[in-house]
Every structure is written in structure tokens, then in C-alpha cells.
Amino acid sequence: MRPQRHRVVAWKKENGYGVELVDVKLDVDRLAADGVAIGWHPLPYRLEFSLDTAPGWVTSRLQVTTKGDGWSRSLDLRRSKVGAWTVTASASGDADLQRPGGDAKSLAGAADCDLALCPLTNSMPVLRHEFLRNEGSVDFLMAWVSVPDLSVHAVAQRYTSLGDKGDSCHHVEYRAMDRGFVSELLFDADGLVLDYPKLAKLVA
């Protein structure tokens, strides 16, 4: 059984994606987190989020707000105990961004949210399927949230455990099936991302 852990972690991101600070509580089979990020691609923004999971690291609620020069967006994404998703979103101001929100029905069958550019949301499927200890490959349907516009999309992803390569890290291949994007993520013993090539690195 995993011990309870409280971590405050920060990631420095690449390509204008900024920085992110997250306060996360890791319980035996769930997590709760609050985070803040700033970025400047495709335009400068500040993001705040709150995430809660049910047992099994299954998403129960993700609340996100973004704001920039003369605009703001908000999203309340929820998953019920029986797997039904609801999407509530709002927008104000003028910005060249997609509308926030999306079709909740398209998310049927998804267990996880995936907040774009947020390494924390890669932890849930890895912890749930015990990729830190076991080998294997699993395909997922994700409720993917684009940033900073906060539009929601159903996307297919694949996680493949690659084991420990002798560097005290747990290697997991992440593949975005619709885009052909592949990256080898490194996780620590708590299931938090240490290195996400082309995106972010944990600040020591």
C-alpha cells in the first residue's frame, strides 16, 4: 500500500509554454491538486486549476480558469460515479481562441482528464495501471483540455511501460494516437513526471 504524500512541485516548460507550480496530495488510490501556470504561447496567459480524483485515480472534477489581456475562460469538467461527464464553460473578452467547452457525450468511456501542458495529469493512468512496477501497454480515451482556450476533446492515447533503465526512474512511452506524437516520459517513485521531453522538466 502506498503511503500518503504531500508534494509541492514545479515544472519548467519549453517552447514558450512557461512554468507551472502544483500542490498535490497523493493518497493510497487518489489525488487532489491545485496548480497555477503562466505561458506565452500562442498568447500570454495565466492558468489556475483544481483537480480531484475518485478511488482508482479516476477523474471526478477538473476546474480551470485562464486569463490574459482583455479576456478570460473558465471550465468545470466533471465525471460522475457511473461515468457520465458534464462540461460547463464560459468565456468573456476578445481573444483569437477557440470557444471553451465541448461535447460531453463524446467523452463516454473516458476515465481521465488530460489538461494540456500539465505533466500532473499524466500521473493518473500510470498510477492506476501500476506502470511504476509492471510492464504493459494500455490504450485510453481521454478528456483532453486544450490550453489556453479550454476547449474539450475526446482523444485516443497509449501508455506503454518501459521499466527502469538503471537510472532510478520509471520510463513510460506516451503516444497521442491522433497526432502521431510520441515521447518517453520519466516518472519518480510517487508517479510524478520528472522529464517530459519537448515539454517540461521537474525543477529540483
1 pLDDT higher than 60: no
Q: N- to C-terminal Cα distance for the chain?
A: 26
What pLDDT shows up at residue 22? 98
For residue 193, the number of C-alpha atoms closer than 13 Å in the C-beta half-sphere is 28
> Using one digit for the tens of pLDDT, what is the confidence trace for 83-97?
999 999 999 999 999
> Using one digit for the tens of pLDDT, what is the confidence trace for 14-29?
988 999 999 999 999 9
Residue 101 binned pLDDT confidence (cut-offs 50, 70, 90) = very high
- CA 63 – CA 79 distance, rounded (Å): 12
Question: Average pLDDT, stretch 165-174?
Answer: 91
- CA 123 – CA 32 distance, rounded (Å): 12
Cβ count within 10 A of residue 14: 12
What pLDDT shows up at residue 125? 98
Tell me 54's DSSP state: E
Cis peptide before 148 (omega within 30 of 0): yes
Beta-bridge mates of residue 164: 170
> Using one digit for the tens of pLDDT, what is the confidence trace for 46-98?
999 999 999 999 999 999 999 999 999 999 999 999 999 999 999 999 999 99
Q: Who contacts 3 (Cβ-Cβ below 8 Å, separation ≥6)? A: none
What SS3 state is found at 105? helix
Which amino acid, residue 85? W
Share above pLDDT 90 across residues of the chain, in percent, rounded to a whole number: 91
Query: Do strands 19-26 and 200-202 pair parallel, antiparallel, or not at all (unpaired)?
Result: unpaired
Cut 0.85: pTM above it: yes
- CA 195 – CA 200 distance, rounded (Å): 6
102 pLDDT higher than 70: yes
Asked if residue 73 lies in contact with residue 100, where contact means CB atoms within 8 angstroms, the answer is yes
Share above pLDDT 70 across residues of the chain, in percent, rounded to a whole number: 99
Q: Who contacts 204 (Cβ-Cβ below 8 Å, separation ≥6)? A: none
What pLDDT shows up at residue 58? 98
Residue 2 binned pLDDT confidence (cut-offs 50, 70, 90) = low
